[in-house]
Every structure is written in structure tokens, then in C-alpha cells.
Structure 1
Amino acid sequence: MSKAQIQMNIPEERNAKPTSEIWVRFCARFKSEVGDAVYSSWFKCLELDEVVNEVAYLSVPTKFLKSWIHAHYLEKLRAVVVQEVPEVRDIVLNLRATARNAIRAASERQAIEGARVGLGHENSSEDVRSDGPTPARRVIEGIEGSSLDRRLNFANFLVGPSNQLAYAAAQQVATINPGVGAMFNPLYIFSNVGLGKTHLIQAIGHAGLEAGRRVIYLTAEKFMYGFVSALKSQNSIGFKEKLRSIDLLVIDDVQFLQGKTIQHEFCHTLNALIDSGKQVVIAGDRAPNELENLDERVRSRFSGGLCVEMQPLDEGLRMRILEARIENARTAQPGFEVTNAVVAMVARSIDTNGRDLDGAVNRLLAHTILAGASLTIEAAEAAIRDLIRVREPKRVKIEDIQKLVATHFNVSRADILSSRRTANVVRPRQIAMYLAKTMTLRSLPEIGRRFGGRDHTTVLHAVRKIEDLVSKDSGLNQELELLKRLLSD
């Protein structure tokens, strides 16, 4: 297509190419609009493929660029194109044809690979090793597993004091030879969000596949969906048999497991696998005894194995995570430089979880690219301001209250949970119930259940009793304030 054709708005075939003169003129104008730094970072690879029926078809080589431009610059891009080529009324941003073909080919290879990696099939090292970030979906004889992200392996997991025990247990479970009895079974890893438990259990899955073990990784949601689908298709027996014939079962986000029937089947599956020496690995967001929505038998099974908590990231580990994320970002943006002082500031300021650290690196990268200026301490603080959270009060557990009160009054926790009604036990028990009601969000029935299966009226009586005594006894009031401070620290 010639420049004259565009100016005269003459209809043409879809595949006709605009002249380079029009595109050069547009690029110069758009660069002046957004600045050299932004243009070089985000629009250098932008191409105008064609203009058809008053629509300009643009393309970029990667999905990331397409998503970023759509989110931040699509309207500005449309305005400049329309101004530069008056006959154009709209634009369409596409992924370049060569990129689409590459993605399609990769998807086909992945589908072939997924079909090869199943129960009873041999796994070559090529089946499980890849440098790319694309998740691999395992289809195991009719059971569709959740995605295993190839980036989440042991090589990429950073170890520190907060996760060292969990990492060692995961390594032990992952390296055991097939057919050898499991040492820690089930292995239950729990933590707050963003501390790496999904990374660790997926690393176990990858190591198991590399060792030739039959592995399936499922989220709780995927397990529920698979079981319900099997019931609807009247193939629940086949579902159970196939699931129990594997060597390693990895379950993530178990706190979302719902439904009495599904939980019973899950418990039966655990029992069948563990009793036959197969390994089970589970991840949740809290300790087994705090998963109130799960059946008691399921929680008991979890507690019967090795339960490991991943603690909040210490500052040294946060710095290492930031350095690793910055190094990864630098592969895509070679000019992205962050000083040690900025890294240290971010590590001190963001002490929540790894996802917030990822968000901080993204904000620093965006600031560097969009502002086109060096990243000072002040600029970095402004960029991550929304990620710096006000420290929330410590989450108090009923078990912690029971232990502290028992120690303070020189009785045992078993005494507090027992039916004994001697004075030296009744008063600590009532104080513990009062603290549980005032320092946790647990309901009266739940507190009663955690205090030896007592009725909620017993808890209510204890709370009112202590409230009455506190109003009259300043010594007891001071004692309770001390206990509260100890629990909150």
C-alpha cells in the first residue's frame, strides 16, 4: 500500500503493507510524546502491519509487551495514530505472527509431553527439565493434575533460618528411593501466604518426576473438582484406584477442602497411600489443629506425620530474594541497576512476604524505565510506599493462651482441659477462657470445644465471672494485663 492510497482512503487487501515513510513519521511523533526512555523500553519493537477499513493493525513480539501497552498506553497510542493518519479511526494490537507460531508449537510440544508423562510410563529427563517458565500440566490416566511450574524447583529456592527445617524435610522426602518406606509421612508444611510453601512442594514434585516416581500435584480445588466429576460420570471407583496407584501425592491449599463426602474420600486416599508406603506431601496456611473446617480424622492424619512451619522471612533472606529478583529483571532490562543501599532499605521496609518483594522489584523497575532517572533512596521509598504495611497485632492462638496461663499459675495444660473442679484449676481455666474470648476471634462454641469439649454456656459463665472480678480486684486486672502483653509480644 502506498502513502497516496492511505490519504485517499482507497480500499485494499488485508495483507498490504504501509510505506515505511508513514511509520517513521509516526515513530518520531510518538517518541516525542512519551520520551526517549519510555519509547526505547516499550515501543522499540512495535510494528505497523497494515491499515484496513480505517483500522491500523499493530504488533509486538511478546505477550508481556502486549499486556503492558494495553494496560498503560493503548489510548495514547490510539490518539497518536489517529492524529498522524487521519483516515484511521481505531487500532488493534496483536502478538506478532512469528511469536504466535512459536507459542502454538510450544503448546503442541507440551501437550505431547503431558500425554507421555503418566502412570506406568517412563519419564526421561527431558520430560521434566525446561529453562522456560511455562507451567506443565500433568494428565495421569484420566486424572488431570494441577500445573507444575518448572521455575519452582530446589535450585531456585533460597534457604534461610526461617525455612531451613522445611527445606531439609522436603529434600529428605524428595530424594528417597522409590519403593523405600517414607520417613516423614505425611509431610505437612504450613505458613502464611507468600513464604514459599508452594515453591517447596512443587520442587518435591519435580524431584520425584526426575527420580522416576509416579507423581501427581493437585490443589484442593482440583481434587474436589476431579472427585465430583468422577461421581457425575459414575466412575468414582476408577478415580480412587488411579489416585491411589501413584508414588507421590502433593496437595496444595488444603484449607480450601470442602464437603463432608469429599473430605472422607480424601482421608481414605491418605490412609491408603500412607499405609502402602507411598509419600504424601501437603501444604496449608495454618497448623492442622487450626483447620476447623476439616474433619477431625483428616486433621489427625496430618498431625501424625511431620508438621513444619515456615516462619516469616528474616532480613538477610529478604535481601537475597530481592537480589535474585533484580538479577532476573536485569536479563530483560540490562540497564536496570539497584544500589546495595536501596536493596537494604527495601529489605528492611517490607517484612511481610515474598510476593510483596516481587511487587517491590516491579515498582522499582517501572520507576527506572518510566522516569528515566537513577534510583535514589527517596525515589525507591516513594515507589514502594503502598507495599509498606502497618504492622498488624500478633495473631494469638488458643493453644498459646492455655500454655501461658498454665505456666503462670503452675498447673498443666492437661489440667485446664480436664474436668477437674478444684480451686487451683478452675480459676486459671476461667482466665484462659476469658483471654481466648477477648484476644481471638473464636466463637464461644469453638472456644468451648478447644477447652475439652465444654458447652458455650460454660465459656460465657467464665467470661462474665472474670469480668466481674476484674472490676473489683485491681491485682487480678494487673495480672491479666501482664498475660496479654506476654501473648502479644
Structure 2
Amino acid sequence: MTRILPMENIKELWDKIIDGLKTKFTSDVVDLWLTPIELFHKNATEFVLQVPNKFFRNWVEENCLADVKNSLAAAYGLPSGNDVGVEYIELQNVTGGEMTGSETLNAGGAKEPVERVEAAVTSIFNPKLSFSKFIVGKQNQFAYSGAWAVANDPGKQYNPLFIWGGVGLGKTHLLNAIGNRVNENFPKVKTLYVQTKTFINDFIDSIRFGTPATFRNKYSNVECLLIDDIQFLVGKASCQEEFFYTFNAIYDSKKQIVLTSDKPPKDIGGLEERLISRFVWGLVVPIDPPDLETRIAILRSKADEERVYVPEDVILYLASEIKTNIRVLEGALTKVAANAALLGTPLTVDTAKKILQDIITKEKETRPVTIERIQKAVAEHYSLKLSDLKSKRRTEMLAIPRHIAMYLSREMTPSSHAAIGEEFGGKDHSTVIHAINKIKAKAESDPFFSAELNKIVKKINYE
């Protein structure tokens, strides 16, 4: 029968496990992520890791849980790490730092009461998501600059700051970077970061348990409120009303508000007009998908961070194929590097193509179509330069491809006639309408021309 070790022996065992992990991680990493954790023995095969918050739990699970379990199995004479169960106690949540329960565990797994301490409001932010780790390019420069200004002088300018863009482009990174910077420069400032879904759940719980004062104290008495994915308020009238009061309380106190969304305020359907009007009081900034140079820089930074060597031609291939989601881009690099290391095979473009076939196919299928993408595909199809489609020349060799590009821009993007004309060298909207009607009529009457159009469309969709 497996025996329960006394408290001091459990501590010694955890210290030995940490020492063993120093061969895998640097001392700084060990001190940051492992030293604050405590180990408890629950029963014969189950253990508890008491962690400061969710980030520590996630880090352990992603980086060394298997090592910990194997070490515990060896210490207790279990066949393998697979026979070891690990549970967690999170002492502090990441949105405000409240004890998750009124009990903890002693060395034998028995519950002991702990003193409940009034929780601090300030959130704990992911230290990896800092301004120094954010790769800046022309597509995110505006958002980065706005976030940097807010972080260095919260509540004084750009209030609220509203950052919008697609999934995986760095919105959450900037929120964490702001939080980290504010905590560093203004340690007494109460900073709160939450997902909108957390705000909604907290509000519902405050109604269910009759604790509206606790809810309002949490959200209205902060000095820097960071809310992610505000579009999830759509369709929730009561939550929108409560957020309206929260927003006013913080704004009227001249405290900072930063919001993110997948769309600019005016395009979020189902959101109250009074909220939309307040969201644009400050600075609204977009984050667009990074260009090739920025994607290459992101991959190089990720490779350095992971301490893996990735050949330049593989980096160029990944950056060229995965264009719209930074998380997918970084995940692809991790996947090909890990595959090569585990199988002991050279990391080449050919192996990357095989490993990432599903990811790249999905990326191409879901990549949003832009006017520029259409112009490039049409120019390549007719062996023209991109500048030819935007020029003022009206030769027949240029007119038909230009008209096709205008027609497809209207069919494949939400752009208006005026916006399309602007992308073609400032053409008038009437010129665009004429081109669209001409191509539409030709496609309906000429099957060969229609087939040619389909070829171009296919090229655009699977660029």
C-alpha cells in the first residue's frame, strides 16, 4: 500500500522534482513558474498542485506535467506516470484574484480552513504577452501605438480605446501588454481584464445569488478596465444595460477603458446605439492581417523563443501560406519543428507541406477575399502588372481584365461601387457600374468567357 508522506517529505520531494526540471528549463523559468507551486498528496495515486492562478496551471500542463507525473510515479513505486492523477487548486483567479474556496489541503489530503483575505482587484496578466513580444508591422502599428499610449498614461487620452480585427491578430496580446505595463508603471492602479463572457456570467450570478453590490464593486471601482470580445454582448439586453452603467461609472471617473471586438462599433449589429456612440468617443483602431515581412518576423521571434532552428526557406513557406491568423501561424511553426525533432527528420519545405497539408488547405478556404487579392489574381491570369489595372490607360488589352477585376470585386467582397473605384486608381462609381454590367452580360451569353471567369475565381479562392 502506498504510504502518505509527511508534510516536510512532500516538500522535499517537490524540491527534487523542481531540481530535475532545471535540466529542461532555465533557472529564471523555474523560479517564475515552478517555485511558487506547492505539492500535496491526496491519496495512494492522486496528488494536488496548489498553483497561484490559471496561468500557472496552463503552463504546467503545456510544458512539464508528464515529467512531474513520471517523477511522482518513480517516488511512490507506481508503474508509470499514466497511473498518477493530478488535480489543481487555483489560489487566485486571473480576473481579480479571489480564493477559489475556503479550504486547502494538508500533506495527507485532509481539508483545512484558510483565512479568507479580501481579494485584490488587479488582474494577473500573461507575462509572455508584453509589448516587447508584440511584432509590429504596418498593419498593426496604429493599434500598437494606441495601446502603448494608453498603457503609459491611462485615463488621460484615447478613452475608450477600441481595438477591432479578426481572430488571432493580436487583440488579446495588446490587452495583456497594456495590463502588464500598467501594473509595472502604476502598481497601485487597479487593473481588471475579463472576457465579455465572464462579465455576462458574473452579472447573471449577481442576479441569481442576490449580490449586485459585489458585481458593481468588482467592475465599476477599477481604474483600468480591459474587456475582450465585446461583440458577445449582442442579443443580451440586460447585460448591455448593465455594461452601459459600468462604462459610465468608469468613464465619468476619468479612468481607462479598453475594448476589443471582431468588428468596428458601427458594424456590430444588435448593439444598443447608446453603447456604440460611447465606444467611438475615444480612438477606434483596426488590426489587419500581417504582411509577409511581419509574418516572417513573427516566425523568427517564435523560433527564438522556442529555441528551435527553422531554415529560412521553411519560414518563408509558412509565412507565404498562412496569412490571416497569427496563432495558426505560430502553431504551424511549433508543429513542424516538433515533428522534425521527434522523428529525427530534416526540416524542409517538403516535410512542412506534408505536415501542414490540412492546416494550409483550411487557411486557403477560409481566407477572406480582398480587392487586392482579386487584382493580383486577374493581373497574373492575363500576364499584366498590378499597376496596369489601376492605370488610366483604356486599351482593350487592359480594359477587359480591369472590368473583370471590378466585377469580381463587387461579387466577392462587400465593397461598394465607390470603394471599388477608389482601389482602381480613383475611378468614378459609374465607371465601376458600367464595367460590372458589361462583364455580367458577357458571362451570361458566352460560355467560354464564363469558364474563364470561373478559372480566375478558383485561383482567387485557393491562392
Q: CA deviation at 1:329?
A: 2.1
**Match for residue 3 of structure 1?**
none
339, 344, 359: which is aligned to 1:372?
A: 344
Give me the whole-angstrom Cα distance separating, in 1, the residues matched to 2:261 and 2:439.
Answer: 36
Evaluate the alpha carbon distance shift between residue 94 and residue 324 of structure 1 in structure 2; reply closer, same or farther with a 3 A threshold: farther
CA shift, 1:228, in A, is 1.4
The 2-side partners of 1:224 and 1:189 are apart by 20
1:316 maps to 293
Counterpart position of 2:193: 217
Aligned match of 1:171: 148
Distance 1:346-1:439 versus aligned 2 partners, 3 A rule? closer
The match for 1:345 is 317
Q: How do 1:49-448 and structure 2 match up within 5 A?
A: 63-64=61-62, 93=82, 114=97, 148-176=125-153, 181-210=155-184, 211=186, 212-258=188-234, 259-330=236-307, 336-388=308-360, 389-390=363-364, 392-394=367-369
Change (3 A) 1:109 1:245: closer
Structure 2 vs 1, CA of residues 64 and 240 (structure 1 numbering), >3 Å: closer, same or farther? closer
Q: CA contact under 8 A between 1:143 and 1:239: conserved in structure 2?
A: no
Contact 1:146/1:222 (CA < 8 Å) preserved in 2?
A: no
SS of 1:194's equivalent?
coil
Rounded Cα–Cα distance in structure 2 between residues aligned with 1:321 and 1:376: 19
Q: 1:287 Cα shift? A: 0.9
If you compute each CA radius of gyration, which structure gives the higher value, 1 or 2? 1
What is the CA–CA distance in structure 2 between the aligned matches of 1:476 and 1:173, rounded to whole Å?
Answer: 45
Measure, in 2, the Cα distance between the counterparts of 1:217 and 1:292: 24
1:274 shift after superposition: 1.3
Counterpart pick for 2:437 among 463, 477, 487: 477
CA distance in 1 between counterparts of 2:119 and 2:412 reads 48
**Other-structure match for 2:41:** none
- Across the aligned residues of Structure 1 and Structure 2, the Cα RMSD in angstroms comes to 4.4
Show structure 2 runs of 5+ residues with no match: 4-23, 25-43, 47-59, 68-77, 100-115, 372-407, 415-432, 443-455
TM-score with structure 2 setting the length = 0.57
Uncovered stretches (5+) of structure 1, i.e. residues with no partner: 1-12, 16-40, 42-54, 70-87, 117-138, 331-335, 397-434, 442-472
Distance across 2 between alignment mates of 1:436 and 1:229: 47
Q: CA deviation at 1:339?
A: 1.3
- The CA distance in 2 between the partners of 1:326 and 1:191, in whole Å, is 25
Q: Return the offset for 1:261.
A: 1.0
Corresponding residue SS for 2:82? strand
Question: How many equivalent pairs are there?
Answer: 310
Q: Which residue of 1 aligns with 2:33?
A: none
Amino acid across the alignment from 1:93: N
Alpha carbons 2:265, 2:280 under 8 Å: kept = yes
SS across alignment from 1:394? coil
